């Protein structure tokens, strides 16, 4: 738990303890919908074990736009920042162990502890940078180059995630992904 916290932003032992007091370890089955679109989310999660995907429903089917593995934060930025309903669904692709934190309790702790408030700011900044990277990659790189990025930066995804979800993430069909994989 401490490694996940300090990877987001290093804070003192006292601040770590205060933050950890808000966390509850939860076990979830594969297929659990951790977050649902059009719902105000009351918790954020830190992944201890497992993998999740974020997706939205579209007229052509589900569109996967994010994967999270061990050490990742799982949150609806709309609920976390604006206290508004989320737009995404987040599903566990494996049975998982996650640390659950109440957003309301976390916001109260932000008001009392500047270190934890800075940790929360760094968490939001980190999520924003991930979003920016995904958006730029999707706009500027070919599907093949995006797939090669996965192979380079997140090779475990290929072993742990269904290829139909990877294809959706890349914005291509499973057949096109198969061709790319064959070429590589």
The verdict on residue 149 lying in a domain is no
The verdict on residue 163 lying in a domain is no
Mean pLDDT within 65-85: 93
Long-range contacts of 147-156 (CB under 8 A, 24+ apart): 147/177, 147/180, 147/181, 147/184, 148/184, 151/184, 154/67, 154/69, 156/69
Query: What is the domain-level CATH number for residue 115?
Result: 2.60.120.10
- pTM (2 d.p.): 0.92
The verdict on residue 182 lying in a domain is no
The verdict on residue 84 lying in a domain is yes
Q: How many domains does the chain have?
A: 1
Condensed to tens digits (0 to 9), the pLDDT of residues 94-147 reads 999 999 999 999 999 999 999 999 999 999 999 999 989 888 998 999 999 999
Given this model, what pLDDT does residue 178 score? 94
What are the residues whose beta carbons fall under 8 Å from the beta carbon of 15, sequence distance 6 or more? 113, 115, 116, 119
Can you give the residue range of the structural domain that contains 19?
A: 2-140
Condensed to tens digits (0 to 9), the pLDDT of residues 124-134 reads 999 999 989 88
The verdict on residue 146 lying in a domain is no
Given this model, what pLDDT does residue 138 score? 87
The verdict on residue 175 lying in a domain is no
Would you say residue 149 has pLDDT above 90? yes
Q: Which band of pLDDT confidence, cut at 50, 70 and 90, is reported for residue 4? A: very high
Mean pLDDT within 48-63: 92
Would you say residue 181 has pLDDT above 90? yes
């Amino acid at each position: 738990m401490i490694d996940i916290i300090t990877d987001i932003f290093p804070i003192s032992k006292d601040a770590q303890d205060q933050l950890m007091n808000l966390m509850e370890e939860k076990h979830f089955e594969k297929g659990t919908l951790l977050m649902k679109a059009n719902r105000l989310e009351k918790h954020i999660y830190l992944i201890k074990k497992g993998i999740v995907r974020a997706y939205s429903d579209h007229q052509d089917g589900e569109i996967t736009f994010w994967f999270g593995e061990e050490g990742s934060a799982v949150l609806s930025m709309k609920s976390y920042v604006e206290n508004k309903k989320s737009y995404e669904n987040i599903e566990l692709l494996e049975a998982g162990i996650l640390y659950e934190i109440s957003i309301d309790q976390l916001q109260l702790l932000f008001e009392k502890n500047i270190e934890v408030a800075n940790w929360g700011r760094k968490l939001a900044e980190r999520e924003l940078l991930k979003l920016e990277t995904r958006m730029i990659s999707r706009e500027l790189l070919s599907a093949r180059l995006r797939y090669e990025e996965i192979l380079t930066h997140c090779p475990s995804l290929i072993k742990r995630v269904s290829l139909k979800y990877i294809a959706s993430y890349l914005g291509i069909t499973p057949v096109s992904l198969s061709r790319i994989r064959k070429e590589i």
